[in-house]
Chain A
Amino acid sequence: VSAARWLPAAAALALALVPWSANPFYRLAGGDGDGRDPTFDVPLDPSPLRAADFPDDLPYITEAPGASPLAQGNLKAAGQLYLARQLPVQDRRRAEVRVQYRDGRVVFAQHG
């Protein structure tokens, strides 16, 4: 097998390592990979949501008073992603847990 045969493959791999190319290959060849959490559009630490241990089917509501619509949307989506065993409700009075967004932090407020 001629070494020249593998030259194009070697060239492609070498290109992937060019640091200023900012291509997807460099992203995987030279940088840290992404984590297991989504890349949110707003500052949002999902750790409390991931660690939450609520009963199945527990009704909850997400609240981000004063936050941008983008933050409200991200919090709602994060709830549906991490609290998939529970049920998001629209009426605050029916919720047994309120998932609140405060300056990038997620906090829980129990009913009442």
Chain B
Amino acid sequence: MIDDHLTPEEQKLTEHLRAMPRRTLRPAARAAIREQMMSEFRARIDSPEWQPEIVERRRVTPVLLRTVGLVATLAIVAAVVFAQEAIRQAATTSTITPAPTELQPTQLQAITLVPSSTTTLAPSPENTPTPLNQEVVPATSVPFTLAPSDTLTPAPPTTAPVVVPPTAVDGAGVVVVEGPVSRIDGNRITIYSFDIEIAPQDPILASLAVGDMVHVEGSLAPSGVMIASTVGRFVSAPPADGTAGAAIVNGRVEAINGNQLVANGVPVRLTPGDPILQRLKVGDLVEIWGTFEGSVLIPTQMTISTSAPASGNPAPPSNNGNPSPQGMGNDDNNGNGSGNGMGMGMGDDD
């Protein structure tokens, strides 16, 4: 060892070093530092950044996640190019100006990344694609929607409408557009500047009206017209008990830590000791209504469905009497006042 080769002088020197008096921390300082540290610790574990399980998962499968992320990024690049072309075509007949930074919560606009049945891409922090330019609504592959809480069918925005380009596309080419219907012409509707063709036999056409807030999934035809495969209407009322229901998250529980969980990439904080925590487990499908405190969703309602519905949509909430997004269009649950036909980013529930 290194110390075996010390000269006598060096040995003496090291003995002096070892004999140096040991500094001791004053008891008061020791207690104060500990208290300060514990305060910081408590604040940290309550924050959404503290997600040890997710960190652990990142460590286990970094290569797979990088691969998935790369594929998703490439898909988004292609989609953005395609969408920009569609916007250019639409702009020739419209003066609507893209202004995604002006999004207001009350305008009910969202872009969601919708995993298809042909891809393993799941909305989680690991594989959330990075936004590529300003026109892409931020990397919220998280399929939650900010909804107006004061009306069932919000009127079109009075301010300059915002074009939400159909940016979120997965490997299967699924495009999602959400917003108010500004025009209906037969089986073709317009949301902002997008012409969307709905199957003529789709029952939603019978009830759809200008001003309805809808969520459409489909694909873009070379002509720039979007061919809808799923159409759903938002019913964005607050829960009947009067609590603010400004946001909805549908999806799988990805992590649980104490009274905090992550559903579809969205941090959610429940009241400590909430009985639902006892039966909640990772992988459960949940629908959560609530309000955001910063980036954390504080639920006002929450329902669990342990099995995936056949349609790929979350199970309807069990709290009858509280409005929730109504099933429309291709859904089988029309008329029951619950469930939804909006996909909400959980296309594959495998």
Query: Do these two chains really belong together in a complex?
Result: no
